[in-house]
Structure 1
Amino acid sequence: MSISEPHRIVFANEKGGTGKSTTAVHVAVALAYQGAKVAAIDLDPRQRTLFRYLENRAETERRRGIELPGAIFDVFTGETVEELDTLAARLGAGCDFLLFDTPGRDDPFARHVATAADTLVTPMNDSFVDFDLIGQVEAESFKVRRLSFYAELIWEARKKRAMATIRDQRREMDWVVVRNRTHHVEARNQKRIDQALAELSKRVGFRVANGLSERVIYRELFPSGLTLLDKGQLGELGTSHLVARQELRALVAGLTLPMPTGAAAPARAASA
């Protein structure tokens, strides 16, 4: 892969309801607000959540006669990996970032893009139900017993990627586990999850970042396609919206993505 190709960010979790699409849309818009050129592909042709969100955003722009930072986008409806790669090459041409939103199930196309990601983002709700996707724990001690199939898949992909990094002029894959809804977890259980994540991260090399604590606020914006960053279009915001905006900015900064030359730094974008 040429170093001129877009940085690939894949939002992946084989469990549904973890906030993949919500996180993907807001990260895409946040990067666009910082001056990056962004493309996004929805790999779920049935639900099309990311596609529909950005489609709603485009409709709001037309209806209000405004221009908002955003991404070019499409939904993949093909049947082969080759078709997916062709779409990715076409949509990502000239872009700084190419985002993939994957379905909440085991899917061959999701596996394909996950193993080729530059940044792999795995959102999870703060519960052992979601933790089970990446690792299994002992019932009594809550110690990590073994890796899950998904964690092993990514571990193997990262090892292959590391071997090919110099040859292909690509960075090593950065795997970030994003913890959503942390404010809704009982303190003792949260501490157990903290310990399990810390133990597992040492084994497979992912980083942990705090995500979105309350996604209802984000879902309210879906029909208009707006985000919490579109301050001039939202009217007066309540305290919960302001807190959520800060969480979003912290999440984007925590991904430590390689911004193109001339783009605004996250701190500047946060104060805009």
Structure 2
Amino acid sequence: MAKVIVIGNEKGGAGKSTIAIHLVTALLHGGNRVGVIDLDLRQRSLGRFLANRRAWLAANAVNAPCPDEPDLGMDGALLARAPVADQLAAFQNAFAAASDLDFIVIDTPGGDTDLSRAAHAEADVIVTPMNDSFVDFDLLGHVDPVSLELTRPSIYSETVWESRKAKAMSRRGQIDWIVLSNRLGVAEARNRRRVDDRLALLARKVGFRVGPGLRDRVIYRELFPFGLTVADLSTEIRPVSVSLAHVAARQELRALIHAIGLEEAAGLAAAA
């Protein structure tokens, strides 16, 4: 059975699709058979990235690995307006079609939907990117407005808890949860320390691991129209000029893969 990686966070703008894109390409370059299901039915950033990838590779007559995209049965915008039962059936059909691959990567929308909950229930690994702000932290945990001390887990932590409980009760194993500090930029150091301290406390309380994400770099955005990532760049595939920033971006991707525990699958263990 495929190992299922769900990219989830009920807040938009945390960088879920960017993380999904880079995980998919890293796993592909590790020689894995990867299935992709984009459940952000209206935005479909991951789906557009893969369409761009196939178009650019064909136009430039070069080869790079591409994932399987199990058919959801209809256009995303139409499916978003379909009854919930039809949406869930479409997801289950697509999921079943990819079950004999090595990995299934599922990108979820920024909100609490029936489709997102169904995907979380199938996860072996949940990867949650978050920005270094209390706005993002609020979906994971609540803090006291006076002392900023952690008071209790919040709505998304409860969603993951319910998914973990359901999977354990069905005897289908456990869910590994990793929260990534993502899109770090030039931020006020004291605020970042405060968020990091509360994140570490919450990690011990609800049971997730904390890892590094991807910084807010131009290279991640400028490769998107070509359907490429820094994992794809080579002497044959180089739609933009290569700089030291690209080397740093590659190291960030390696650190991300290591934090999730996929270095062997991505072919990085031997190269490390």
CA-CA distance at 1:156 after TM superposition: 2.5
Among 46, 49, 61, which residue is 2:57 paired with?
61
2:119 is the counterpart of 1:113: yes
Aligned partners of 1:44 and 1:75 also within 8 Å: no
2:209 is the counterpart of 1:204: no
The letter for the 1-side match of 2:15 is G
Aligned to 2:82: none
Aligned to 1:21: 17
Distance 1:264 1:144 in 2: 36
Give the SS at the match of 1:9: strand
2:158 is the counterpart of 1:152: yes
Distance 2:219 2:70 in 1: 25
Aligned partners of 2:121 and 2:166 also within 8 Å: no
Aligned to 2:83: none
2:41 is the counterpart of 1:45: yes
- In structure 2, relative to structure 1, the CA distance for the partners of 1:153 and 1:237 (3 Å cut) is same
Aligned partners of 1:214 and 1:244 also within 8 Å: no
Distance 1:55 1:125 in 2: 28
Aligned partners of 1:33 and 1:69 also within 8 Å: yes
Distance 2:36 2:260 in 1: 17
CA-CA distance at 1:148 after TM superposition: 1.0
- In structure 2, relative to structure 1, the CA distance for the partners of 1:16 and 1:216 (3 Å cut) is farther
The letter for the 2-side match of 1:89 is A
CA-CA distance at 1:258 after TM superposition: 8.6
Give the SS at the match of 1:184: coil
Among 169, 180, 183, which residue is 2:182 paired with?
180
- Gap runs ≥5 in structure 1: none
Q: Deviations over 1:18-55 (max 9, x none)?
A: 11101101100000111111010111221110000011
Give the SS at the match of 2:270: helix
> Taking structure 2 as the reference length, what is the TM-score of the superposition?
0.88
- In structure 2, relative to structure 1, the CA distance for the partners of 1:254 and 1:217 (3 Å cut) is same
2:137 is the counterpart of 1:131: yes
The letter for the 1-side match of 2:267 is A
Q: Deviations over 1:151-204 (max 9, x none)?
A: 112112213323444xx3x3x100111111234321111111111011111111
Aligned to 1:223: 225
- Gap runs ≥5 in structure 2: 80-85
How many residues are treated as equivalent by the alignment?
Answer: 258
Q: Deviations over 1:82-101 (max 9, x none)?
A: 221111111x1431000111
- In structure 2, relative to structure 1, the CA distance for the partners of 1:96 and 1:48 (3 Å cut) is same
> Taking structure 1 as the reference length, what is the TM-score of the superposition?
0.88
Distance 2:271 2:56 in 1: 22
Give the SS at the match of 1:80: helix
CA-CA distance at 1:264 after TM superposition: 5.8
Give the SS at the match of 2:89: helix
Q: Deviations over 1:54-95 (max 9, x none)?
A: 1100111111111102312257444331221111111x1431
2:110 is the counterpart of 1:104: yes
- In structure 2, relative to structure 1, the CA distance for the partners of 1:264 and 1:103 (3 Å cut) is closer
